[in-house]
């Protein structure tokens, strides 16, 4: 998929609407349209990278910026003290649905363990 076909690139360009939570120089954060928790926010680099690995390899500073922004959002949205989960899905087996690096922030209820039993 090229950047012109990328849903998140279209959101960054303003061609697709989103409920924006934070808009920084290199990072955009918006609410997930299919939330898995009461608070489900996506933090993305404005520059296109297919996966979190691609972003971390090519621009580790930017990867850190996504993490910093996630923390700032947790404080601003007032769920930092109760706790939150940060999650990168990388590649199809992980469940990554949009091939543009993105960090999920999940909060607003007890989330429990990621996996309850080993998967074979």
Catalytic residues: 102
Q: Give strand ranges (E) for 16-117.
A: 20-23, 27-31, 39-45, 84-88, 103-107
The CA distance from 35 to 45, in Å, is 20
Q: Quickly list H helices, the chain.
A: 7-13, 52-58, 60-76
């Amino acid at each position: 998929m090229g950047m012109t076909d990328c849903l998140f690139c279209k959101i960054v360009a303003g061609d697709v609407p989103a409920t924006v939570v934070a808009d920084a120089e290199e990072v955009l954060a918006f609410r997930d349209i299919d939330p898995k928790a009461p608070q489900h926010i996506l933090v993305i680099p404005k520059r296109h990278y297919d996966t979190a690995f691609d972003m971390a390899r090519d621009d580790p500073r930017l990867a850190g910026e996504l993490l910093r922004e996630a923390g700032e959002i947790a404080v601003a949205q007032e769920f930092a003290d109760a706790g939150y989960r940060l999650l990168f899905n990388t590649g199809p087996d992980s469940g990554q649905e949009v091939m543009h690096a993105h960090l999920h922030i999940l909060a607003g209820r007890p989330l429990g363990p990621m996996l309850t039993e080993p998967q074979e």
